[in-house]
Amino acid sequence: MKRYICQNIYGMAQIGMIYNYEVFVNTNDGGNIPHFHFRDAKDWSKFHTCICIDKPEYFHHTGKEDILNSHMKRKLEEFMRSPVSLNKYKEKFSNNWEVVCFMWDINNSQMMLPEGIEQPDYRLL
């Protein structure tokens, strides 16, 4: 008889890449603190951290406790303020940060972002 190993697979919505790092939002995230993930795309255990969406603060929890250096902070800020790359979404979202907000809200309805939220400066992490 074959035995199958069951494993939880968390859905994720990738927002984009910054060099070899991936920015994404988990679906049904249990943290209930609006945040996104920033991790090494090839080796999740090499670098992984979580950053609040609404303020320039980390949301550290087990296994996601790395710190961005000043270069990474600048690149993250540039990425978040950059226009959305797909033309068909440019009218809906002015930048990648708005996509992060949207993906959080549609995937984590237990803790939605407030109306009128403003983009923080992630260089201040």
Q: How many domains does the chain have?
A: 1
117 part of a folded domain? no
Decide if 69 is inside a domain: yes
Residue 46 domain flag: yes
Domain that holds residue 26: 12-109
- State the pTM of this model: 0.87
The model's pLDDT over 73-86, given as tens digits with 9 standing for 90+, comes to 999 999 999 999 88
Residue 19 has φ and ψ, to the nearest 5°, of 55, -120
pLDDT for the residue 10: 52
Whether 122 is in a domain gets the answer no
* DSSP result, 22-44: EEEEETT-TT-S-EEEEEESS-T
- What does the buried/exposed string (b/e) look like for 33-63 if buried means 16 or more CB atoms within 10 Å of the residue's CB? ebbbbbbebeeeeebbbbbbbbebebbeeee
Instruction: Tell whether the model's pLDDT for residue 9 goes beyond 50.
Output: no
Tens digits of residue pLDDT in 16-71: 999 999 999 988 887 789 999 999 999 878 999 999 999 999 999 888 999 999 99
Query: Does residue 26 sit within a domain?
Result: yes
Residue 14 has pLDDT above 50, yes or no: yes
For the segment 102-106, the average pLDDT, to the nearest whole number, is 93
Asked if the structure places residue 4 within a domain, the reply is no
